[in-house]
Amino acid sequence: MLEFKALTKQFKNTVAVKPATFTIPDGQMVGIIGRSGAGKSTLLRMINRLNEPSGGQMLFQGRDITALKGRDLREWRNECAMVFQQFNLVGRLNVLTNVMSGRLFHHNFFSSMAGVFSEKERAFAIRALDRLGMAHVALQQTDTLSGGQMQRVAIARALVQEPRIMLADEPIASLDPLNAKVVMDALRAINQQDGLTVICNLHTLDTARQYCDRIIGMQEGVIVFDGTPKELTDKAAREIYGAEAEDAFSEAMTSTALRPGAQRAQPEVRVVN
């Protein structure tokens, strides 16, 4: 269980996340939605402390996450893997090494500096790649892959961390619809088969509705909606998105709905499933 107690983040002159209090039980798949600049990324990056919270507390299984330092902090980051919008892989290394880098936390200084990975790690990384259908490119240089392939490699890297939570910051925002579907399906599978908590920033409503157990809506740093996809009515969604509602409803480019008929001119909410 991941508990947030009045967690806040203030940058120099903007409050990106205003005191947020909520709880995420284990094994839930949560989608965070909201317009650009609402503070979704900031909230997510605070969970694994890529952004330092400026106030409040986070507890995981009762343990205070906000106070972690040094090796404990890195251990926590290892426990909650992150998938980025821009994949954040090391383009000049091959796919396998990128995936194996998910196990760096378990290495000592010398083996990690020398880049020595064990056979077990190699087999494990190949299995993880295989699970995402990417084992065949294991030895290719990573920056030669397509965006969708890179994101699957990034998920494989996250998997070899053996995390308890998986964070995903707009994992499909740079992908075409087909790849977006593949990636979201993979995240959902991880959530359902491995029982991982998945927290995912999304910017298309239909994706959030289709894949998530629970949707959190943010507006200017405040959580304005927290409920099931069913509870997220058309009206509620309009409130979250404000003036950008039309875009969010119909952004067929990166949505996972794969409907040839979807057009910007049809702002009605599509209920999937």
Partner 1 sequence: MASITTNTPANGSDKDPVSLFESHRRQMIRDRMVVNVTLGVLFIAFLLWSAWISRFTPDRLAAGLPRIMEYFGSVMPSLQWDVLFESRDEAGRFPPGSLGFWYNDFWKYIRLIWETIRMALTATLIGTGLAVILAFLAARNTTPAHWVGVAARRFLEFCRGVPEILFALVLVFAVGIGPLAGVIAIVIHATGALGKLSSEVVENASMRPVDGIKAVGGNWFEQMRYGILPQVMPNYTSYALWRFEINVRASAVVGFVGAGGIGAELSHVISFYSDDRVTAVLILIVLTVTMIDLLSERLRHALIGKESLK
Partner 2 sequence: MSTLTFATINEADVSAARKRYPQAFGNPLVRALKIGSWVFIAVYLAWSLHVFEIGKLLNASDRAWQLVSRMVVWQDMATWQYANIYRGIAQTIAMAFLGTLLGTIFALMWAFFAARNTMPVGIIRHAVRRLLDIFRGIDAVVWGLVFVRAVGLGPLAGVLAIWISDMGNLAKLYSEAIENIDRKQVEGVRATGADTGRIIRYGYLPQILPVFISLSLYSFESSTRSATILGLVGAGGIGMIIIERFRAGLFDQVAFVVLNVLVVIAIIDWGSGLIRKRFIGERGH
Ligand X SMILES: Nc1ncnc2c1ncn2[C@@H]1O[C@H](COP(=O)(O)OP(=O)(O)OP(=O)(O)O)[C@@H](O)[C@H]1O
Residues that bind partner 2 (CB under 8 A): 96, 103, 119-124, 126-128, 131, 135, 138-139, 159-160, 162, 189, 193-195
β-pairing, 222-227 with 15-24? unpaired
Q: How far is the CB of 128 from partner 2 (least distance, A)?
A: 7
- DSSP per-residue codes, 132-144: TT-GGGTTSBGGG
Q: Provide the Cα torsion 111, 115, 118, 122; round to 10°.
A: 150
Contact call for residue 42 and partner 1 (CB under 8 A): no
Distance CA 166, CA 196 (A): 7
Distance CA 130, CA 134 (A): 5
13 binds, among Mg ion, partner 2, partner 1, none (CB under 5 to 8 A by kind): none
Place of tokens 């650009």: 36
Count of alpha carbons within 13 angstroms of residue 50, beta-carbon side: 14
Measured CA angle at 94 (ends 127, 73), to 5 deg = 75
Q: How far is the CB of 96 from partner 2 (least distance, A)?
A: 6
Q: How far is the CB of 189 from partner 2 (least distance, A)?
A: 7
41 binds, among partner 2, Mg ion, partner 1, none (CB under 5 to 8 A by kind): Mg ion
Contact call for residue 156 and ligand X (CB under 6 A): no
Contact call for residue 86 and ligand X (CB under 6 A): no
Q: Could you say which of 42, 149, 161, 210 contacts partner 1 (CB under 8 A)?
A: 161
Which residues between 39 and 98 bind Mg ion (CB under 5 A)? 41
Closer by beta carbon to Mg ion, 141 or else 174: 174
What are the phi and psi torsion angles at 62 (to 5°)? Answer: 85, -10
Q: Which stretch binds ligand X (CB under 6 A): 12-20, 72-80, 88-96, 249-257?
A: 12-20
Which residues contribute to the site for ligand X (CB under 6 A)? Answer: 11-12, 14, 16, 34, 36-42, 203
